[in-house]
Amino acid sequence: MRVQRDPRSDLRRLLGRLTLILAVLLSLAQSDRVSAAAAPVVFDTDMDFDDAAALAYLAALHKKGVIDLRAVTITGAGVGFQGRAIHHARCLLQQVGLPDIPVADSTLVGPNSPSLLLRLVAELVLDMVLSGCSQSSTPSTQTAPELLASVLASTEGQAVLIASGPQTNIAAALHLFYAMPGHGQPLMHAYFMGGTIAVPGSLPFSTGYDGSQELNFWCDPPSDQYVLDTLGPLVSLIVLDSTNDVPVTKAFTTRLQLDMHTPEARIVAAIANHPVVRLGVHEKGAYWWDPLAALAATQPGIVTYVNRPVAVVQSGVSEGRVVLSPTGVQIQIGMSADQAAFEEHFIDVLNER
């Protein structure tokens, strides 16, 4: 016996399919809007342990669609060893599910190098935290300054640069960028972790200097001055005056261990609870230096700023010191930070809340 089809049933099926198609299209449209609104970000780093914590935070923001992390560039002028620093960056991005973000390194160095002991400490921490990773230590085919310059060109002045190490790559990239025909403004804004204004400097395990300078700026004062001269008011400098307000505390490291629901949160908890970092916490010498720069770039209200003209001392026992100077470059200086707001936002983003 032949069963006659009910045309109303066919209509319901058709309407169901149309509803599903419209839902998919709406979802794609919303995704496109989030992507279009996300600021393009480049992270230039020397991959010390606090740099890795900053990268984990930026990776979480990228996955939430708040930023568009276009590239990670590794400077050879800072703490991370050649080959090992890019290995650690690749491993971290792989562990958080972002292995396709471009990573490039560089052999460029500044006139001063961090002590071997400091570099070994950073290697010890990250090698344990990121253990079991099979990512390559092979140098990138495109250099870090080349990748950085290409991102600046492609983003047409809209990129945000966050730098947590010496500015060697950035100086080289700006030279490349300004050699390009038809170039405009290189970026929207730059956030640099480095320097100090009214508090003592930090130059671990180095002798022959007066202790007034901070490590990142001491490594390459000529590049620092060139970058400040070139970018001027586009720069926000996160100095030790503000990072001193965000120490790594025992209470917060415990909180990180109890509240880690994502790969990013687990990586930062492992860093903060590594025996070497815990020793620094006990000695009151560990701070969230580079994560504060990353939060300053992405979360208004954490850092309080003043506008002042500055210059970088180029020689002598104060080499690398950032000084207030009436003939200097006018920039924004982060002089203090809200510790409670920093910790709350940091842990929430790491857990992708």
Q: Which pLDDT band, with edges at 50, 70 and 90, does 6 fall under?
A: low
Instruction: State yes or no: pLDDT of 14 exceeds 60.
Output: no
Spatial separation of the C-alpha atoms in residues 166 and 297, rounded to whole Å: 18
8 lies in some domain: no
Nearest CA to 194 out of 217, 224, 168, 225 is that of 217
Q: Which pLDDT band, with edges at 50, 70 and 90, does 44 fall under?
A: very high
Phi-psi region of 110 (alpha: psi -120 to 50; beta: other; left: phi over 0): beta
Number of compact structural domains in the chain: 1
* Structure token digits, residue 12: 């319901």
Q: Which pLDDT band, with edges at 50, 70 and 90, does 3 fall under?
A: very low
Return the percentage of the chain with pLDDT > 90, whole number.
87
* Structure token digits, residue 221: 């004062």
Strand partners, 303: 337
Residue 20 confidence (pLDDT): 35
Q: What CATH code is carried by the domain that includes residue 207?
A: 3.90.245.10
95 lies in some domain: yes
Residue 198 confidence (pLDDT): 96
Which strand ranges, in their side-by-side order, compose the sheet holding 103-104? 103-104, 67-74, 39-45, 160-163, 189-193, 235-238, 329-337, 303-312, 322-324
For the stretch 84-103, pLDDT in tens is 999 999 999 999 999 999 99
Instruction: State yes or no: pLDDT of 262 exceeds 50.
Output: yes
What φ, ψ does residue 21 adopt, rounded to 5°? -60, -45
Residue 7 confidence (pLDDT): 52
* Structure token digits, residue 199: 């508090």
Residue 90 confidence (pLDDT): 98
64 lies in some domain: yes
For the stretch 272-292, pLDDT in tens is 999 999 999 999 999 999 999
What φ, ψ does residue 246 adopt, rounded to 5°? -125, 65
Spatial separation of the C-alpha atoms in residues 165 and 85, rounded to whole Å: 12
Spatial separation of the C-alpha atoms in residues 143 and 85, rounded to whole Å: 14
What φ, ψ does residue 287 adopt, rounded to 5°? -135, 160
Instruction: State yes or no: pLDDT of 55 exceeds 90.
Output: yes
Residue 28 confidence (pLDDT): 36
* Average pLDDT, rounded, for the chain: 91
Spatial separation of the C-alpha atoms in residues 216 and 193, rounded to whole Å: 8
Q: At what angle do helices 49-64 and 263-272 cross, to 10 degrees?
A: 160
Q: Please identify which residue in the block is written with the tokens 């100086």.
A: 171
30 lies in some domain: no
Rg of the Cα atoms in the chain: 23
200 lies in some domain: yes
19 lies in some domain: no
For the stretch 61-83, pLDDT in tens is 999 999 999 999 999 999 999 99
Residues 41 and 159 sit within 8 Å (Cβ to Cβ)? yes
Q: Which pLDDT band, with edges at 50, 70 and 90, does 8 fall under?
A: low
Write the CA distances from 202 to 50, 131, 249, integer angstroms.
Answer: 15, 29, 19
- Domain residues for the domain of 111 are 37-350
Instruction: State yes or no: pLDDT of 16 exceeds 90.
Output: no
Residue 205 confidence (pLDDT): 79
16 lies in some domain: no
Spatial separation of the C-alpha atoms in residues 219 and 259, rounded to whole Å: 36
For the stretch 288-331, pLDDT in tens is 999 999 999 999 999 999 999 999 999 999 999 999 999 999 99
Q: Which of 13-22, 265-274, 279-288 has the lowest mean pLDDT?
A: 13-22
Residues 193 and 163 sit within 8 Å (Cβ to Cβ)? yes
Residue 13 confidence (pLDDT): 53
- CB atoms inside a 10 Å sphere around CB 3: 5
Instruction: State yes or no: pLDDT of 233 exceeds 80.
Output: yes
Q: pTM for this one? A: 0.89
